[in-house]
Amino acid sequence: MITLKEAILKLKSGNIIVIPTETVYGLASSIFNIPGIKKIFELKERPLSNPLIIHIGKINDLNKIAKNISYKAWKLAYNFFPGPLTLVLEKKNYISNLITAGSNKVAIRMPNHQLTLKLINKLGLPIVAPSANLFTYLSPTNAEHVRYSIPILSNSILDGGACNLGIESTIIEFNKNNKPILLRYGAISVENIEFILQEKLLIDNRLTKKKTLYPGMFKKHYAPKSKLIICENFHKCIKLNHKKKIGILSFNEMTKSPLIKEEILLSKSKNIKEATKNFFSSLYKLDSLNLDIILVKKFDNHGLGVSLNDRLLKASS
Ligand code: TXA
Ligand code: MG
């Protein structure tokens, strides 16, 4: 664990650190620290073809990273920054291709976490930060998850408590005709963004088809070590798997079968926000029990339910 002061010193002296955000914990380096950025890819075991999100401390810093920012992009920024929205915009030339994986577009967001906003603004530089987990593993929503997933980072964590929202930011890009495209389902619902823009989002076909370009879009992602199985009926699934060590991740109802080892409820009051906040941390808990399988059910397919279903599908493939 490190203090804010130590975190700033570490970043200034070329080290990488773990930062809290409202979505998930990130593994951060200054945008100019090329060896540090390479280290991030290495530690996460993440392919260099997967670009990183730049985190800014002030809305107007969008101007420092991106160019030709459209009215619609500003409108989204003013409505959702600081918050769980990432905008993919044309990058300024000086932004390293290592960050964007060779693309001329860069992903930018302003996290809604006081400690991390202070960190970025005191450092005086934006930082890059992918989620602080191993590539394809569960995203960390507290410091403990980071220590479990990448132990070598244990002494570099700026601990800001449990993440308020619990899943990653929603990512939006604009096509040549300035139409908004959804690149990743996230903590802001599609409906919410469409309401602000007064326009339907195009859903990137990389989200629906098997062809993938970027990591959030990889088929396997967010996955626990135990096999995750999506069920329609828990009792039937339990029967089929009765010889296995079974865990259940349920929205709000206990199944109470003697054949299961552990059962976690995401929200007793069936509140989708609470369920989202508890989603990854519940999977971390279940995954630490060395279960053979974890059974889950799909959520109702609207609002945040869509974002959770997206993660369930990827974690179970
Ligand atoms: O909530 C979040 O966004 C968290 C916290 C730490 O801020 N960060 C995060 O980063 O989820 P990461 O690296 O795990 O996922 C970044 C996603 C990738 O799926 C990638 O596809 C997309 O952002 N991305 C980054 N740069 C991009 C670009 N230039 N064009 C298109 N997609 C990009
Ligand atoms: Mg990630």
Residue 249, pLDDT above cutoff 70: yes
Taking residues 96-110, report their average pLDDT.
Answer: 98
As beta bridge partners, residue 105 has: 90
Q: How many angstroms separate the CA atoms of 131 and 27, rounded? A: 6
Answer whether 170 contacts ligand 1 (Cβ < 6 A): no
Amino acid at 134: L
Q: What do you get for the CA distance between the two ends of the chain, in Å?
A: 35
Answer whether 106 contacts ligand 1 (Cβ < 6 A): yes
Question: pLDDT digit string (tens) for 56-70?
Answer: 999 999 999 999 999
- pLDDT interval class at 193 (50, 70, 90): very high
Q: How many angstroms separate the CA atoms of 296 and 185, rounded? A: 19
Q: Would you state the pLDDT for residue 3?
A: 98
Question: pLDDT digit string (tens) for 146-161?
Answer: 999 999 999 999 999 9
Q: Is the Cα dihedral 81, 219, 104, 177 positive or negative? A: negative
Question: How far lies 59's CA from each of 15, 184, 314, in Å?
Answer: 26, 21, 32
Could you tell me the two tokens for 91?
Answer: 């990058």
Could you tell me the two tokens for 168?
Answer: 């990653």
Give start and end residues of each alpha helix (H) in the chain: 4-12, 34-44, 62-65, 71-80, 97-100, 114-123, 143-149, 190-197, 205-208, 234-240, 272-287, 304-316
Q: Would you state the pLDDT for residue 213?
A: 55
Q: How far is the CA of 171 from the centre of ligand 1 (A)?
A: 8
Answer whether 169 contacts ligand 1 (Cβ < 6 A): yes
* pTM greater than 0.85 (yes/no): yes
Q: How many angstroms separate the CA atoms of 88 and 143, rounded? A: 28
C-beta atoms surrounding 104 within 10 Å:
10
Ligand nearest to the CA of 206: 1
Q: Which of 159, 207, 156 is nearest to 17 (CA)?
A: 156
Nearest CA to ligand 1 atom 21: 214
Answer whether 103 contacts ligand 1 (Cβ < 6 A): yes
Q: How far is the CA of 133 from the centre of ligand 2 (A)?
A: 7
Answer whether 130 contacts ligand 1 (Cβ < 6 A): yes
